[in-house]
Amino acid sequence: MDSSENPVGVLVRDQRGGLAFAYDRAYVSQPGAISLSLSLPLTAEPFEEAVARPFFDNLLQERDGALSDIMAREGIARDDIAGLLFHLGKDCAGALSVLPAGSPPTKVPGDYQKDYQRLEDDRLIAIVDSLHKRRRLPAGTDDPSPLAGMQSKTALTLLPDGSLAGPLPGSGAPTTHILKVPDQEHIHDGSLEYEAMRLSHAVGFSTADVSLLPLAGIEVLLVTRFDRALDRDGRVVRIHQEDFAQALGLPSALKYERRGAPGRRFDVDAVRRILDATDDPAGERELFIQATLFDLLVGNVDGHAKNFALFHEPGGRIRTSPRYDILPTRLDDTLTDELAYRIGDATTLDEISGEDFDLFLQTVGISSAAARQRLSKRYATEIATKLAGHLDRLGKGGQKPLADLIASNMRTLLGALDIEVPGPARDRDAYIGRAGGWLLS
């Protein structure tokens, strides 16, 4: 783990490719030791294949193209997790590194003064252009922190003087920001995610900081990494976190409820189990309810298991991370409108009824019928009212489709919950994305 001189544990593979993981006994016994995952609690007993494989598989990139070189060069199959991590584990996602036994640590704190090299403008533009066109990064440019997800992005560091930089090769220093570059088919994704993240912050959620930069004629999104901090010496350090797929022991292929099976899927019941393990289950449940309402209203139906995360802190304390990766995916007619997890029995926004939302709250863990009715009315009203206050700004700022989508979603969801629609949303144009156009009122 970043900043640790000694291994947390040992990952092994048998001759048939089966994995097992065991914590180092000295690590388990030390004060302040933290578990790698809810699925890998601190214990001296080893974890076998069924538990070990999903967690370590999730340390690899989701984009198979990013693994193709090492697979071709070394003759390694995609399901050979240990083989891939043998070659790629020093740079895998998060605060962890997976290294051949006996190797010294490769992930260490970063000193702004000596561990980073500023990216010249032409170099930065070449990187953006490559990501935009989904081509290989320019020669001599290595992605220092492979990232999960399907969007075109790379990890960089924002220096105190405001310039962007990369860690010096071999430094092991962390990056501090993620640069997301929309591809040619989704040119507006940067500005859309920027607005959705700003709305999340304005509504009151702890949300990763974002800024919009014009580079190479493209609006790219610069996201502050929530899993970074400064130590007492002002050095950049990594904070250990895991996404909900890892916490549930699910491979990334099962990040949507529709891809799993009962008992082994990302659904609201599984989320409740995760939240029950945090330091403040009641508070985290209410935050998840609010986040669900917000996502429904802004049109983000891609809140899958890898878009929610947990912090593991010294002493075994666990809390959810700030919100990240919020994109109004319903604006893209090429994507499904099916929800990442069902609300009651509903699989789309249009199917949600009052009974479905009540069942959702019950599954989250709100047992009192009176409390469910009170919470649904209170949170839906509060979030809708705050969002409605931004519709005019969005419309005048070039984001009319997003403003109209939010207003349409309000009328649909609040109508189902028998809640009055805020005035600014009642009379806006209706967004009819899947019917192929706009309906002007």
Instruction: Return the closest-CA partner of residue 311 out of 204, 231, 236, 238.
Output: 238
Q: What is the DSSP letter of 323?
A: B
Residue 186 has pLDDT above 80, yes or no: yes
Q: How is the chain split into domains, by residue range?
A: 9-91, 116-224, 240-439
CB atoms within 10 A of CB 239: 17
Which one of the listed residues 91, 189, 243, 302 is annotated catalytic?
A: 302
**Tokens found for residue 227:** 């899993």
Q: Classify each residue of 15-50 as buried b or exposed e, where b means 16 or more C-beta atoms within 10 Å of its C-beta.
A: eeeebbbbbeeebeeeeebbbbbbbbeeeeeebeee
Residues of the chain with pLDDT > 90, as a percent, come to 77
Residue 174 pLDDT: 94
Cβ-count burial of 302 within 10 angstroms (0-12 exposed, 13-18 middle, 19+ buried)? buried
Q: Confidence class of residue 65 from pLDDT cuts 50, 70 and 90?
A: low
Q: Confidence class of residue 438 from pLDDT cuts 50, 70 and 90?
A: very low
Of the candidate ranges 184-188, 316-320, 411-415, 427-431, the one whose mean pLDDT is the lowest:
427-431
Contacts with 35 (C-beta within 8 Å, 6 or more apart), sequence order: 41, 42, 312, 316
Q: What is the DSSP letter of 218?
A: E
| DSSP structure string for 334-362 | TS----SS-BTTBSSGGG--HHHHHHHHH
Active site includes 302?
A: yes
Residue 140 has pLDDT above 80, yes or no: no
State pLDDT tens for residues 157-175.
999 999 999 999 989 999 9
Q: Classify each residue of 307-324 as buried b or exposed e, where b means 16 or more C-beta atoms within 10 Å of its C-beta.
A: bbbbbbeeeeebebbbbb
Look at phi and psi of residue 337 and say left if phi exceeds 0, alpha if psi is from -120 to 50, else beta.
Answer: alpha
Pick the CATH number of 240-439 from 1.10.1070, 1.10.4100, 3.90.1010, 3.40.50: 1.10.1070
Q: Which residues sit opposite 110 in a β-bridge?
A: 236
Q: Which helix (H) or strand (E) holds 273?
A: helix 268-276
Residue 301 has pLDDT above 60, yes or no: yes
Question: In terms of pTM, does the model score above 0.85?
Answer: yes
Average pLDDT over residues 93-101: 90
Instruction: Return the closest-CA partner of residue 231 out of 286, 284, 173.
Output: 173
Residue 388 pLDDT: 97
Average pLDDT over residues 36-45: 94
Q: What are the angstrom distances between the C-alpha of 207 and each of 194, 201, 232, 326? A: 11, 6, 24, 10
Residue 66 pLDDT: 61
The length of the chain is 441
Q: Which helix (H) or strand (E) holds 366?
A: none
